[in-house]
Structure 1
Amino acid sequence: MASADDQEEKNATISDITSHKSSISQDKDVEGLTTNVETLKTSEFSEADAPKHSDKEEAPVKISDAQGKDDENPEEFLLEEKPIEPVFDGTEIPESGTQPSSVWPDKAVALKNFVKEKGTVAMTTLIRRLSSKKEEGGSPRMDDKSDGDKMEVPASELKEEYPKLEERSVWNPLSFIKIGRDVQVEQTQTESSVEVPAMKGRIVIYTQLGCQECKAIRSFLREKRLNFVEINIDVFPSRKLELEKIYGSYAVPKVYFNDELIGGPKELSDMEASGLLDNKINEMMNIEPAASSPLPPLPGEDDESASGKLDELAAIVRKMKEVLKPKDRYYKMRRFSNCFLGSEAVDFLSEDQYFEREEAVEFGRKLAINHFFRHVLNENIFEDGNHLYRFLEHDPIVMCQCYNIPRGTLDVMPKPIVEIASRLRLLSHAIIEAYVSEDGKHVDYRSIHGSEEFKRYVRITEELQRVDLGELSREESLAFFINLYNMMAIHAILSWGPPTKAMERRKFFGDFKYVIGGFPYSLSAIHNGILRSNQRPPYSLTRPFAPRDRRSKVSLEYPEPLVHFALVNGTRSGPALRCYSPGNIDKELMESARDFIRNGGLIVDAEAKVASANRILHWYSVDFGKNETEVLKHAANYMEPTKSGELMELLANTHLKVTYQPYDWSLNI
């Protein structure tokens, strides 16, 4: 039986397919207009349902004056098309088995009939809208232009459609996150009922990674509904030296109420038992912190992300950008924005570096290998002639969808990926300890958004732009990409807000990206392209990386099925959020698998002979076994011994009925 959630996902898939068709077709049946009927239908859907703040599509097209000349016909050229990566957003086709391809012919016929039926309605709506506009004396919209008209896109519309190009001062994704730090509050409570008391004073606690007493103090203060500032001396080593200088020791935890040192968990418990703690809290309500009170972490404190040796190649590339002046050009009947010719680059390098043309070509290849620019179609590394190349930050996908390149390509030399991964892992560990519940199932997004640790994390991700990913071993690659995926999901939620509909989830998994090693990676590309060894996402016909895609070299040699119990995309039905280290990655993945399976991931009712499994085991069943029985046997390895024995006995002696739990896409707050 198909559920309501499955039906919503199916409708979203149909809308996504028709929107793609509309972007590459034209309809000239109505008074010479270029508006496509399917485009109108898709635009009506997106205007009603899709939030504008998450519409991060291809870069805005710039139309030059030369395009309106009589000797050029705009219809003879195709606009630049970005490659569409297969994205899995939880879409499940109702009543389909583990082999979705067998029902595709019937689905195609149904889709064709659906489009025809809706097309008639959309055509009628189009004519009615145009008629009303003519009666009102209004001018048609940009998409209603007749052939040959110059297309002029108002700047206000560009800003509205591509919010990443402007500072989004009004959009606040945190307004979608209703509950803050207290993860034990009932969902039915309103935000006003969980507000903490306003306090003029400041509570500061000094902590350290892996400290059990620090965890106890966090829990104690949260139970008391008290706001506090946490200073992790592993993240801010200068504070460690400060403690040692003042007290002769950097032992933690230490709790300050303004400028008064309270102590640790024992001292807080004693104060609460004697009633002194409540009196102290009441005093803090009206007394502001003195100048001698410990300060919260300052912006950029102990931050090494901006440091490094200046890259001499970057200085040459900076001069290239000024001299070449990239512009829109045509190549193989398609238009590409912000490009330069290979011959122009060779001319510049020959003059600037006093090279012969052959030497200039070799030097240009060196620049391309270091990810400063690349061919618009990835046909070659660098050649002289009429080939088109584009600087990394000018790529439309990088400009509009990548969130770790806000200031262009960095001018410092790329650091080793192992070093960057270690620093990112340290911050991930600190963020998870400070702002995630003990069981890893509840995340305090509001506090993460305002923390200096997260801001530093985002700054460090900028160093990934031109790194060499080939230096990573299997274990290092697993830990790095799992941790990066989980933090990218948090970054996406804080930037866009949590996705609530199928179309929003499709954008969430496919359009929020980081530039890593010169190429954009989405959440889906990391999950299915790298960690699953470039396997097709569920209910998709293509792999994430094409055969010529250079990102395929980063993929794991073999898919690792246990990553499904470690990747967290901000949902309640997903696994617990943890930080993983390369030295113990296999052991940690097995622990995560046990935790996931034993806490509702697979429930066996021996009397009813029914097994209820998390839908993750269904979506990615191909990673666990060839059939349903093999999948359950694989999952049984991580169950409690008694439950595992019951499951194996049922599989051997009876016909076990397997059901799959509805997936809860709600935010894990």
Structure 2
Amino acid sequence: MSRWTRNLLLLTRQARILSQVRLTHVAPIGYLQCSNPVLLDNFGRREVFVCRRGHATWVTAEDMDYKGQILVYSILGCPHCMKSKNTLQKLNLPYTDINLEMFPQCREPLKERTGKRTVPQIFFNATHVGGNDDLQNLVKDKSRLQQLIEDVKFNAPPPEAPVPPDPSTAVVDAGSGNFVCEPDEYVQLVQELRKSGLIGDHWQGIRVHHNSFVGRDFVNWVVKNKQLERSDAIMMGQALIDKHFGHNIKSDLSFQDNDVYYRLLDDEETHALNAGHMSDCEPQAAIELGEDLRKIILKLYSAFLSPDGKKVDYKGIGASVEFKHYVRLTKELQRVQIASSSREEKLAFFINIYNALVIHANIVRGPPDNLWQRYKFFHTVKYIIGGYAYSLQDIENGVLRSNRKGVGMIRRPFSSSDPRLKVALDRCEPLIHFALVCGARSCPPIKTYSPDKVDEQLRVAAEAFLESPDGCEVVMNNKTIYLTQILKWYQEDFGKDKAEMVSWVRDHVPEGEKRNHMSELIDGKKYKVTFMSYDWSVNS
């Protein structure tokens, strides 16, 4: 027995017991406080998370004498990573989890070593097994698997094996959604406006504008009560619009000193999930609020996704403290400053919000279970964002697809006069289809995205999904390429015809046998495309 093992066993006797804790809920390297071993009773299985060379490592009592190492390069919340680690746990194999978000310096060396951008990447000592699919194939090859296990058990890592990074170089997260409110000075003005008697039902011809006020009346009220010039009163009215406290009923973005009607945001008749009393905080930039929300979402995904990353524990999320924190923070979306954000900021922001909105709606409204309910779900489930309501369809087709018609839509989401059109991307981004998760089993796995890495993260998400049998399969015997229905529904985003779409897919499948087979079929120009059936059952 090694000295490390003896020390571990001694320390383990003093380790605190955590009952009924699933290992998939334990944070990977960098998030786990590993100064002492933690003994977990995982539904009857005695398991230990320890620090080994400063890294969080999973072991079982019978596997403490391994001389070598199994390394799993992953990112937090990655479904394929979770599935591979779950497989290693079921095999009772100790592994060290290296989170590339916390050790970004490992990304390029890993790519050079493996030729892959996707995660996970798994090593048994110096042997590169590959990703999750490769690991599952290895499990079926019992003879080769046993050879690799014996290599790790009896041999120390050779010089050519990857070396875990120094834990002191980890990029430490500052927190998870630690939102600090800066009070908005215009809150007081809104409160006084509510008491002024200006807000009510106003008739314009045969049409009534409920809970509205008139621009000229507002200016007169400010001039009288604040002792200001009309020009200053108009500027105050404009500030209410710019800060998203209210807006012109007809969507004009300017405040006017005439018979134009305005309405405060929390007087809008909407069923948006974050509707109600407006936030009293100064509006945040999208990049700041988006990061606060992303951190909370990441914690929820990490804790309540199944080991394979394809199922969501909606009941668990709904009862969690983190979800209550998330719901409170969605109020800040009402007045977030999004229009001036960069393309990358909008991409990451709206993808994360879309996926979180689906989960939020499934928790509070329940998932749709037929065609009509799905149509209603995607058109009526909404958040108020930057002063305006956005449905799931608005986010996907209006913003991220640059105002293109979606499936079954007869017109574009945003008209030429719609103020939300200014938020839409300048061009459609096809990679979003491998990041948006509609809540069905056939959707891509759930992840979160950050503005500074969003393009790379989207490429990796596309590669991972198309590498899996859910996204693309190639059968050479009958020269058939099987593709996800997503590519059929949004074919125009991937090329002007089916041939261009197939070439796009080939170019985004990772290097390997599947890509080579696709190239062979495309070059021979004799192949057929079949779209796989789509499983709309809820991913819970």
Q: Structure 1 residue 626: deviation in Å?
A: 0.5
1:633 aligns with 2:506: no
Alignment of 1:1-80 (within 5 A): none
Q: Structure 1 residue 265: deviation in Å?
A: 4.7
1:624 aligns with 2:494: yes
Q: Structure 1 residue 576: deviation in Å?
A: 0.6
**In 2 relative to 1, CA 302–566 (structure 1 residues): closer, same or farther, beyond 3 Å?**
closer
Alignment of 1:394-413 (within 5 A): 394-397=267-270, 401-406=271-276, 408-413=277-282
Q: Structure 1 residue 641: deviation in Å?
A: 2.7
Aligned match of 1:383: 256
TM-score normalised by length of structure 1: 0.56
**In 2 relative to 1, CA 222–632 (structure 1 residues): closer, same or farther, beyond 3 Å?**
farther
Q: Structure 1 residue 369: deviation in Å?
A: 1.8
Aligned match of 2:539: 668
1:476 aligns with 2:345: yes
Aligned match of 1:549: 418
Aligned match of 2:225: 352
**In 2, Cα distance between the equivalents of 1:550 and 1:350?**
29
Q: Structure 1 residue 332: deviation in Å?
A: 4.5
**In 1, Cα distance between the equivalents of 2:43 and 2:535?**
27
State the structure with bigger RCO (CA 8 A, min sep 6), 1 or 2: 1
Q: Structure 1 residue 540: deviation in Å?
A: 2.0
Q: Secondary structure at the match of 1:329?
A: strand
**In 2, Cα distance between the equivalents of 1:333 and 1:323?**
26
Measured on the aligned residues, the alpha-carbon RMSD in Å equals: 3.0
**In 2 relative to 1, CA 460–392 (structure 1 residues): closer, same or farther, beyond 3 Å?**
same
**In 1, Cα distance between the equivalents of 2:255 and 2:345?**
31
Alignment of 1:453-472 (within 5 A): 453-472=322-341
**In 1, Cα distance between the equivalents of 2:206 and 2:420?**
26
**In 1, Cα distance between the equivalents of 2:436 and 2:39?**
26
CA contact (8 A) 1:440 1:578 kept: no
Q: Secondary structure at the match of 2:255?
A: coil
Aligned match of 2:312: 443
Aligned match of 1:643: 514
Q: Structure 1 residue 252: deviation in Å?
A: 9.3
1:334 aligns with 2:207: yes
1:493 aligns with 2:366: no
Q: Secondary structure at the match of 2:345?
A: helix
CA deviations on 1:602-641 (whole Å, 9 max, x unpaired) are 2122221222211100001111000001101111123353
Query: In structure 2, what residue type is equivalent to 1:647?
Result: M
Q: Structure 1 residue 643: deviation in Å?
A: 2.0
CA contact (8 A) 1:427 1:453 kept: yes
Query: In structure 2, what residue type is equivalent to 1:663?
Result: Y
**In 1, Cα distance between the equivalents of 2:287 and 2:30?**
25
Alignment of 1:424-435 (within 5 A): 424-435=293-304
Aligned match of 1:595: 464
Alignment of 1:581-592 (within 5 A): 581-592=450-461
Q: Structure 1 residue 500: deviation in Å?
A: 0.5
**In 2, Cα distance between the equivalents of 1:212 and 1:631?**
41
Query: In structure 2, what residue type is equivalent to 1:522?
Result: S
**In 2, Cα distance between the equivalents of 1:202 and 1:362?**
60
Aligned match of 1:418: 287
Alignment of 1:519-530 (within 5 A): 519-530=388-399
Q: Secondary structure at the match of 2:216?
A: helix
Q: Secondary structure at the match of 2:228?
A: coil
Q: Secondary structure at the match of 1:637?
A: helix
Bigger radius of gyration, 1 or 2?
1
More strand by share: 2
CA contact (8 A) 2:405 2:411 kept: yes
CA contact (8 A) 2:176 2:296 kept: no
Matched positions, count: 400
Alignment of 1:139-150 (within 5 A): none
Aligned match of 1:572: 441
Aligned match of 1:370: 243
Q: Structure 1 residue 644: deviation in Å?
A: 1.9
Alignment of 1:7-406 (within 5 A): 208=27, 210-211=29-30, 224=44, 265-266=58-59, 304-305=178-179, 307-379=180-252, 381-397=254-270, 401-406=271-276
Q: Structure 1 residue 565: deviation in Å?
A: 0.5
Aligned match of 1:659: 530
Aligned match of 1:516: 385
CA contact (8 A) 2:398 2:404 kept: yes
**In 2, Cα distance between the equivalents of 1:214 and 1:593?**
33
CA contact (8 A) 2:177 2:291 kept: no
Q: Secondary structure at the match of 2:281?
A: coil
Query: In structure 2, what residue type is equivalent to 1:563?
Result: I
**In 2, Cα distance between the equivalents of 1:651 and 1:499?**
39
Q: Structure 1 residue 473: deviation in Å?
A: 2.1
Q: Structure 1 residue 594: deviation in Å?
A: 1.5
Query: In structure 2, what residue type is equivalent to 1:510?
Result: H
Aligned match of 2:479: 609
CA deviations on 1:388-428 (whole Å, 9 max, x unpaired) are 1111111112xxx211233x111221233222111111112
CA deviations on 1:301-337 (whole Å, 9 max, x unpaired) are 99754x4232111101111011135222222532221
Q: Secondary structure at the match of 1:533?
A: coil
CA contact (8 A) 1:465 1:515 kept: yes
**In 2, Cα distance between the equivalents of 1:308 and 1:637?**
46
**In 2 relative to 1, CA 269–402 (structure 1 residues): closer, same or farther, beyond 3 Å?**
farther
**In 2 relative to 1, CA 224–492 (structure 1 residues): closer, same or farther, beyond 3 Å?**
farther
For structure 2, the 5+ residue unaligned runs are 1-17, 47-53, 65-174
1:562 aligns with 2:431: yes
Q: Structure 1 residue 384: deviation in Å?
A: 2.3
More helix by share: 1
